[in-house]
Amino acid sequence: MAEEIEKDNTWVIVGVCIAAIVLLVVMLKKDETKHLQSGAVAELQKETFSKIEKRHTSNNSSAEQISGK
């Protein structure tokens, strides 16, 4: 008598799970980098570095300032 062989869907399930995870990661990465396209980050960095430079130059006293002139 011929026995029926059950079809094993384990690898199909694993493949679908892997594809879903890859798709989810790609979608989240695209959403994560959306704010970089607006240019807001570059503007914020420019402002931050200008404030750091201003603070750095105001903390350095010249020789005239030290001598009290």
Reduced to 3 states, what is the DSSP secondary structure of residue 11?
Answer: helix
19-54: pLDDT as tens digits: 999 999 999 988 777 766 677 778 888 899 998 888
**Stretch 4-9: mean pLDDT, rounded?**
84
Per-residue buried b or exposed e for 10-25, using 16+ beta carbons within 10 Å of the residue's own CB: eeeeeeeeeeeeeeee
pLDDT at 41: 75
Instruction: Give me 39's structure tokens.
Output: 């240019």
* Domains in the chain: boundaries: 10-67
CA–CA–CA angle 40, 34, 48 (5° rounding)? 25
Single pTM value for the model: 0.45
User: What are the residue ranges of helices labelled H in 1-69?
Assistant: 10-32, 40-59, 63-67
